[in-house]
Amino acid sequence: MSSRIERSVCPYDCPDTCGLLVEVENDKVISVKGDPEHPVTRGSLCHKMNHYEKTIHSPRRLIEPLERCGPKGSGKFRPISWDKAISTITERWQQIISEFGAEAILPYSYAGTMGIVQRNAGHPFFHRMGASLLERGICTPAKGAGWDAVMGKTPAPAPDEVVHSDLVILWSSNAAATNIHFLQLVKEAKKRGSQVWMIDLYRNQTAGLADRTLLVNPGTDTALALGLMHILVRDNLCDQDFIDQHVQGFAELCENILPAYPPQIVSEITGLSSNEIEDLAQAYGTATAPFISIGGGVSRYANGAMSVRSIVTLPALVGAWDKPGAGCFVGTSTSAAFDMSQIERFDLLQGSPRTINMSCLGGALTQLNDPPIKSLYIYHSNPAAVAPDQTQVLAGLTRDDLFSVVHERFMTDSALYADIVLPAVSSVETSDIYRAYGSYTVQRSRKLIPNVGQSKSNIEVFSLLAKGMDYTEACFDQNAEERIDQLCAVQNSWWKDIDKSALTAGKAVKLSPPRPKMFVTPSAKIEILNPTQNEPLPIHIPPTDNRFPLQLVTAPAHKTLNSTFFERADLRENQMKILINPQEAQRRNLNDGALVNAFNDLGAVDFYLQIDERVPAGLAVAEGVWWIEFAPGEKTVNSLTSQQLTDQGGGSTFYDNRIELRASNLRSKSVFDSLR
Ligand code: SF4
C-alpha cells in the first residue's frame, strides 16, 4: 500500500504549536515533518518532534489496561479488560463518595497534550461528580498576573512584530530550547541589523545568538528593571508625550521608587557591573523599536509576578507601544476567542467543592483531612516527576488507602504508583483543535491512524466512566469531532477573517485579536501605579532564603520537554546532570563526571556533575525533569523544590530553591543493580 501525507499538529506544551505533515502507511505513521505552509513552523520542527513516529509506535507504549499486583511503585501489574477497569474504578468511586463525599476524589491534569477538547474532557465529568477542583497553575500564571497588573486585558502584540525591531531583549527566555520558531524571527531581525541582548542566569544555548549576555543574580530582575528606569529618567530617555497621554503613575514611580535604584545599588543586587546596566539602559532608551520577550523562568520565583510586572513597565517609559516592531511579549492569550463554557461545563458543578493548587499536591495527599484525598485520577500529567516536593508527593502516592488511576501512554513515575493504569492514545489517534500561546494560530487535527493496542482518548474514557457512574448528560455522548464543531461554530470578532474551509481542511489559520484603541485597563492607561495591587508601585522584594549556598535552577532541556520524551533513548541525554561553576566544584573538591548528592531540607538527589564555565558561581543548573528510572539514584530534581507559591497567580516557584552539593555515596545505578 502506498503512503499518504496528512496534516496534523504538534500536541505538546510549547508556544510554537507547529503544523506537522504526517506520512501514514498501513495504519502506521512512518515519518513526520514540519509543514512548510504553517506560518510559524515554516517547514522545520525541533529535535523532539522530527521523529514523532518513534513515540507513537514506541515499544514502550501501554497497550492494555493494567491492575496493580505488587506494592505501590514496584511496577508489578497484570492486564485486565476495559470493562473490568471501568467497573473497578466506578465502584470504588461510588464507595468513596458514599463514605467521604465526592471532594475526596481529585482529578490531576495539566498540559501533557494541548488540544482543547481532549485536554479539558475531564472537566464536565469531575464537575458533575462534585470532586475537588484543581487549580492548574504549575507553569507560569505569575507571568499573566504580572502582565495584567500593568496592561490589564490589553492583547499582546503578535510575536512576528519582532522582525521590525532594532533591539531585541530576550529576558529569561532560553528560546533555543523552548521557542525555536520565535528565535528564527529574532535571527531575521538580526539580519536586518537588530542588536540582540540576553538577560538570564547562565549562558544557555540561546547565548550563541546574543550580541550581549547579562547574567543576573536569581530573583533580582525587578531591581534590574527599576535600575534601567532610573537611568532612562536620569538621562531624559523617556517618551514624555506618550507618558502624559497613556501612562498612570509615572510621577509616583519617579518620586517614590526610582531614587532607591541607582546603578551602583542595582549592581550590588543583580551582580551586573554598573557599566553593563548603563549600557543596557542606553541601548534601550535610544532604540527606535525596542522589543522585550519575557520567558517563563523569571516568573518562577516567590516574587515572580512582581518581576514580570516591573519588566512590563519598561516599554511604557519609552513609548514602545506606539512604535511598529517595539513592545513586550509574554505570550498570546486566545481564550476569549472560544466559548470554553461549552467544554468546561462549570454549569454541571455540584455544590462548591474546595480547590487544591496542583503545586501543593504533596501536602494535599499527606496532610489534608475533612475529607482526605482518597482517590486521584491522573491524566495529561506526571506529578510524581513534575510536581514540587517529590518526597512528599511519593509519600502520598504510596498511601495504601489512596486509590489512584493513571491514564497514560507510558509507564511514567506516576503510573508506577497507580492501582489502575489506562492506556492513552497519542495525538494522531484522535481529533482535536489547538490554539497556540506563542502566536495567534489555530489548527484542527483529525484522527489519522487506529488507536494503538487498546488505548483510548480522554473523551472515550470519560464517556465510559460517565456511563459507569450513571451520568446521563448529553455531553458525555459527544465525540471529539462534535465538540470541535461546536467550538468552531462561534461567531466573534476573533474569527472575522478566518477561512473556515481552510480550518476544516486541517490548515493553520490566524485568529484576529481585537486591537483596541486604548489600553484595556480600568483607567484606559498603562498602570504603572495600580491601586488594586498590594504594592501599588513596582518594588524589588529580595529573596529571603539563604540557608543553602547554591541557587538551584530547574532549567529546560534541549531535547525533552518537562518529563515528556524520556521514553525516547535518542532524546535523553546519557546522564542526569547538575551543572556548576569550576570555582564551586573546587571549593567542594568535586570532580567533573563524579556522582554528587544535591540536598536541602526537602530531600536529596544524586546527579552526575558537569563542571561548566557557562554557569556563574552561586548557581546550580539541572536541565530537564527526568524519570526516576533513568536517574542515578531514587529521586529526581523535584525532590529539591518546594510547594511555595508565587506572590500572585498561584504559580510554582521552581527557580526559588537553594541547595548544597557533596560527594555521593551512591555507585551508578547500573553497577548497583548488578550487585543486588
Ligand atoms: S518547536 Fe514546539 S511545537 Fe514545534 S515541534 Fe517542537 S515541541 Fe512541537
| Dist CA 148 CA 141 (whole Å) | 11
Residue of the CA atom closest to atom 6 of ligand 1: 46
Q: Can you give the pLDDT at residue 353?
A: 96
The pLDDT tens digits for 62-72 are 999 999 999 99
Q: For ligand 1, which residues put their CB under 6 angstroms from it? A: 10, 12, 14, 16-18, 45-46, 48-49, 180
Q: What's the 361 CA to ligand 1 centre distance in angstroms? A: 28
Q: Can you give the pLDDT at residue 31?
A: 97
Q: Can you give the pLDDT at residue 671?
A: 43
Q: What's the 179 CA to ligand 1 centre distance in angstroms? A: 8
Residue 47 CA: nearest ligand 1 atom is 6
| Dist CA 358 CA 654 (whole Å) | 13
Closest CA to 656 of 559, 581, 580, 554: 554
Q: What's the 343 CA to ligand 1 centre distance in angstroms? A: 25
Residue of the CA atom closest to atom 5 of ligand 1: 45
**What is the secondary structure of 222-250 as a DSSP string?**
HHHHHHHHHHHHHTT-S-HHHHHHHEESH
Q: Tell me if 132 sits within 8 A of 96, measured CB to CB.
A: no
Q: What's the 175 CA to ligand 1 centre distance in angstroms? A: 12
DSSP state of 667: P
Which of 20, 33, 49, 437 maximizes ligand 1 atoms within 8 Å of its Cβ, making it the mutation to test the pocket? 49
User: What are φ and ψ of residue 414, in 5° steps?
Assistant: -70, -40
The bridge status of strand 526-527 relative to strand 550-555 is unpaired
Residue of the CA atom closest to atom 8 of ligand 1: 10
Residue of the CA atom closest to atom 2 of ligand 1: 14
Q: What's the 46 CA to ligand 1 centre distance in angstroms? A: 6
Q: What's the 515 CA to ligand 1 centre distance in angstroms? A: 28
Closest CA to 514 of 333, 340, 341, 339: 333
Q: Can you give the pLDDT at residue 605?
A: 98
The pLDDT tens digits for 478-504 are 999 999 999 988 878 888 888 889 999
Q: Can you give the pLDDT at residue 593?
A: 96
Residue 16 CA: nearest ligand 1 atom is 3
| Dist CA 585 CA 571 (whole Å) | 28
Residue 10 CA: nearest ligand 1 atom is 8
Q: What's the 562 CA to ligand 1 centre distance in angstroms? A: 13
Query: How many angstroms separate the Cα of 595 from the Cα of each of 168, 500, 550, 572, 626?
Result: 39, 56, 17, 18, 16
**What is the secondary structure of 139-189 as a DSSP string?**
S-HHHHHHHHHHHTTPPPPPGGGGGG-SEEEEES--HHHH-HHHHHHHHHH
Residue 17 CA: nearest ligand 1 atom is 3
Q: What's the 295 CA to ligand 1 centre distance in angstroms? A: 16
Instruction: Name residues of the chain where pLDDT drops below 70.
Output: 1, 668-676
Residue of the CA atom closest to atom 4 of ligand 1: 18
Q: Can you give the pLDDT at residue 546?
A: 82
**What is the secondary structure of 253-278 as a DSSP string?**
HHHHTGGG--HHHHHHHH---HHHHH
| Dist CA 135 CA 122 (whole Å) | 14
Q: What's the 14 CA to ligand 1 centre distance in angstroms? A: 6
Closest CA to 422 of 409, 441, 432, 435: 409
Q: What's the 565 CA to ligand 1 centre distance in angstroms? A: 12
Q: Can you give the pLDDT at residue 490?
A: 81
Angle (nearest 5°) at CA 417 between 416 and 419: 105
DSSP state of 416: G
Which of 45, 113, 205 maximizes ligand 1 atoms within 8 Å of its Cβ, making it the mutation to test the pocket? 45
Q: Burial-class residue 27 by CB neighbours within 10 Å (0-12, 13-18, 19+).
A: exposed
